[in-house]
């Protein structure tokens, strides 16, 4: 293969957000988009504009703010109203792309679309041309391409390119393909589509069989030059091709693939944790590239080898991906200059107001903890990420629990006008009592689906990070908070999820 560039098409804000419980507010999407620009992605698929007013607003704002720095893309079905709405959201961007899709496999044609092959081709051509009238950069996806008859797939792709598509994306929509199979699909297109050299071949692989990254790499090996992926592999069902994994595979094995990307890999770890914080989806410890264990060595023989020469057991360095460990760095006597320098070295750029808030929280934390670690600083920064509307905030709380006693919690919440509301509840332990008291005051009944507690750094005085997932009126909401007191952290995380539900109901 030639030594050229593979474009990275990030769809965290569209396909990734479709993962249950991973919805983001517009302000959260803007923060993620900003980091995606800093990461160096070539295209950001910002959303599905016709899906909802919120999606439209997010795509429009991202296009306006970042469309001069990278290409902003909006998704549209092969329908006139979808394409018109997508362009309305994208038109302020200097660099924009409309991504249209239409299913082509026999199972989709028969059971979902009720359309013949001829109707599929006619519709695809008409809608690509309509999109092309708005925008010169058009991407066409034959949905479920991996299960589409190859001769028909070649015909659809050829006609879409002829109509004006400059990128043809080949989706493995249900994660059905294997690497050899997917390589053959891309090779078939290159051999049999007469105008294939007029478009970039892209790949969009799902992870139902755990092969999304492997299939994407096979496609690159066969000639694809765009990969559609998401941070942390978020997405429908088992997720998508993980951006951090496929990028580092191409970089680490450049000797084999002979291609490069425009990704600043030192930004991979920070953005992974930003997306995890925003969506509430925890990154598993043994996750490749960005998991906490990715650069940990437990076996004695491994530790010995790494001490002698890191490359004995590490094929990439932690610094390559911006890994943040638990290095001890600062104390309560550290000044603003030292703190700002450390924040910047960790890959974060903060405005003055946010910096002051985090610095004050750092000083407060330093009074509670003897030792402050890099991971503590990152946790303080990530705590500022959520912009859930705060209808309720905790003024004070008290809990009582112990062996042979009934756990109780008394809480004072302040509403938007500053009025204090107080109530108490009992429960099966102090955390349960706190949650019940919060529900009594806010008047919201929630079902706790997930509750996770973990330490941010080491030591008995470490900050406890609590993540919750609750179901309110049938919809999932997430909350996250950190504190040296896990009861306080639990209360704030639960209240954050309730505030999100309240905000959703008012919009």
Domain identity same for 126 and 195: yes
The pLDDT value recorded for residue 127 is 98
Q: Rounded CA gap, 50 and 147, in Å?
A: 27
Q: With contact defined as beta carbons under 8 Å apart, do 204 and 176 qualify?
A: no
Max avg pLDDT among 78-92, 313-327, 491-505: 78-92
Lowest mean pLDDT, pick from 77-81, 218-222, 498-502, 503-507:
503-507
The CA distances from residue 272 to 132, 202, 287, 321, 463, in Å, are: 34, 23, 11, 10, 20
Q: For 369-470, where are the alpha helices, taking DSSP H only?
A: 374-382, 430-442
The pLDDT value recorded for residue 383 is 73
Mean pLDDT of 312-318: 79
Domain identity same for 422 and 338: no
Residue 394 has pLDDT above 70, yes or no: yes
Element at 274 (helix H, strand E): helix 268-279
Mean pLDDT of 500-507: 72
Domain identity same for 377 and 411: no
Nearest to 408 by CA among 396, 425, 421, 423: 425
Domain ends where: 387, 422, 437? 387
Residue 270 has pLDDT above 70, yes or no: yes
Q: Domain for residue 284, yes or no?
A: no
Provide the greatest CA pair distance for the chain: 79
The pLDDT value recorded for residue 330 is 64
Q: Domain for residue 149, yes or no?
A: yes
The pLDDT value recorded for residue 1 is 46
Q: Domain for residue 118, yes or no?
A: yes
The pLDDT value recorded for residue 332 is 66
What's this model's pTM, rounded to 2 decimal places?
0.85
Q: Which residues of 333-350 are buried (b: 16+ CB within 10 A; e: fewer)?
A: ebeeeebbebbeebbbeb
pLDDT tens string 161-202 = 999 999 999 999 999 999 999 999 999 999 999 999 999 999
Decide which of 280 and 128 is more confident.
Answer: 128
Q: Rounded CA gap, 90 and 96, in Å?
A: 6
Domain identity same for 172 and 81: yes
Binding residues for Mn(2+) are 15, 204, 206, 240
Domain identity same for 47 and 188: yes
Domain identity same for 31 and 116: yes
Q: Which pLDDT band, with edges at 50, 70 and 90, does 343 fall under?
A: confident
Decide which of 334 and 178 is more confident.
Answer: 178
Q: Which pLDDT band, with edges at 50, 70 and 90, does 322 fall under?
A: confident
Q: What backbone phi and psi angles, to 5 degrees, belong to 56? A: -60, -45
Q: Rounded CA gap, 482 and 489, in Å?
A: 5
Mean pLDDT of 120-144: 98
Domain identity same for 317 and 332: no
Domain identity same for 36 and 102: yes
Q: Domain for residue 286, yes or no?
A: no
Domain identity same for 430 and 364: no
The pLDDT value recorded for residue 461 is 81
Q: Domain for residue 447, yes or no?
A: yes
The pLDDT value recorded for residue 335 is 79
Residue 316 has pLDDT above 90, yes or no: no
Residue 362, Cα to own-chain centre: how many angstroms? 27
Mean pLDDT of 292-304: 60
Binding residues are 15, 204, 206, 240
Lowest mean pLDDT, pick from 135-149, 297-311, 343-357:
297-311
pLDDT tens string 40-64 = 999 999 999 999 999 999 999 999 9
Q: Which pLDDT band, with edges at 50, 70 and 90, does 505 fall under?
A: low
The CATH number linked to 41 is 3.20.20.70
The CATH number linked to 496 is 3.30.160.270
Q: Rounded CA gap, 74 and 164, in Å?
A: 17
SS3 per residue for 381-392:
HHCCCCCCCCCC
Domain identity same for 32 and 152: yes
Q: Tokens 């002979």 appear where? A: 258
Lowest mean pLDDT, pick from 137-151, 367-381, 404-418, 452-466:
367-381
Q: Domain for residue 285, yes or no?
A: no
For 411, the 3-state DSSP assignment is strand
Percent of the chain having pLDDT more than 70? Answer: 92
Opening angle at CA 469, ends 496 and 502, nearest 5: 40
The pLDDT value recorded for residue 507 is 42
Count how many domains the chain has.
4
Q: Domain for residue 151, yes or no?
A: yes
Within 183-331, strands assigned E span 200-205, 226-229, 328-330
Domain ends where: 342, 371, 387? 387
The pLDDT value recorded for residue 313 is 65
pLDDT tens string 469-491 = 999 999 888 899 999 999 999 99
Q: Rounded CA gap, 222 and 379, in Å?
A: 42
Q: Which domain holds residue 335?
A: 328-387
Q: Which pLDDT band, with edges at 50, 70 and 90, does 326 fall under?
A: low
Domain identity same for 112 and 59: yes
Mean pLDDT of 317-325: 82
**Mean pLDDT for all residues in the chain:** 91
Q: Domain for residue 405, yes or no?
A: yes
Residue 442 has pLDDT above 90, yes or no: yes
Q: Around Cβ 200, how many Cβ atoms within 10 Å?
A: 19
Domain identity same for 39 and 159: yes
pLDDT tens string 5-35 = 999 999 999 999 888 767 788 988 999 999 9
């Amino acid at each position: 293969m030639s030594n050229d560039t593979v474009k990275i098409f990030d769809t965290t804000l569209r396909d990734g957000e479709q993962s249950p419980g991973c919805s983001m507010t517009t302000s959260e999407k803007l923060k993620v988009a900003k980091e995606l620009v800093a990461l160096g992605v070539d295209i950001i698929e910002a959303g599905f504009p016709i899906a909802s007013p919120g999606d439209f607003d997010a795509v429009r704002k991202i296009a306006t703010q970042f469309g001069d720095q990278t290409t902003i893309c909006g998704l549209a079905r092969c329908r006139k109203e979808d394409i018109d709405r997508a362009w309305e959201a994208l038109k302020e961007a200097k660099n924009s792309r409309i991504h249209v899709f239409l299913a082509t496999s026999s199972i989709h044609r028969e059971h979902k679309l009720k359309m013949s092959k001829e109707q599929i081709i006619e519709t695809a051509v008409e809608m690509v041309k309509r999109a092309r009238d708005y925008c010169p950069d058009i991407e066409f996806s034959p949905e479920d391409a991996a299960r589409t008859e190859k001769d028909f797939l070649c015909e659809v792709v050829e006609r879409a390119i002829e109509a004006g598509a400059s990128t043809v994306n080949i989706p493995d929509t249900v994660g059905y393909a294997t690497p050899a199979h997917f390589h053959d699909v891309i090779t078939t297109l290159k051999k049999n589509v007469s105008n294939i050299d007029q478009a970039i071949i892209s790949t969009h692989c799902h992870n139902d069989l755990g092969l999304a990254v492997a299939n994407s790499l096979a496609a690159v090996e066969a000639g694809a030059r765009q990969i559609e992926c998401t941070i942390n592999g978020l997405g429908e069902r088992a997720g998508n091709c993980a951006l951090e994994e496929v990028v580092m595979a191409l970089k680490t094995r450049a000797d084999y693939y002979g291609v490069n990307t425009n990704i600043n890999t030192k930004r991979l770890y920070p953005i992974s944790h930003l997306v995890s914080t925003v969506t509430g989806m925890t990154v598993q410890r043994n996750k490749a590239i960005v998991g906490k264990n990715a650069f940990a060595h437990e076996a004695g023989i491994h530790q010995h080898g790494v001490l002698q020469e890191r490359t004995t057991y590490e094929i990439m360095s932690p610094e390559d991906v911006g890994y943040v460990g638990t290095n001890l760095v600062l104390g309560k006597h550290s000044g603003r200059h030292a703190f700002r320098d450390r924040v910047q070295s960790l890959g974060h750029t903060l405005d003055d107001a946010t910096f002051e808030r985090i610095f004050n929280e750092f000083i407060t934390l330093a009074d509670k903890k003897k030792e402050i670690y890099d991971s503590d600083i990152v946790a303080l920064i990530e705590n500022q990420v959520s912009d859930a509307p705060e209808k309720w905030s905790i003024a004070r709380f008290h809990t009582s629990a112990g062996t042979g006693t009934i756990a109780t919690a008394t809480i004072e919440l302040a509403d938007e006008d500053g009025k204090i509301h107080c109530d108490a509840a009992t429960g099966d332990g102090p955390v349960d009592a706190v949650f019940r008291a919060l529900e009594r005051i806010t008047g919201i009944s929630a079902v706790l689906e997930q509750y996770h507690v973990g330490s941010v750094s080491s030591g008995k005085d470490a900050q406890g990070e609590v993540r919750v997932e609750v179901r309110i009126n049938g919809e999932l909401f997430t909350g996250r908070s950190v504190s040296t007191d896990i009861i306080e952290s639990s209360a704030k995380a639960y209240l954050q999820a309730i505030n999100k539900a309240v905000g959703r109901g008012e919009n």
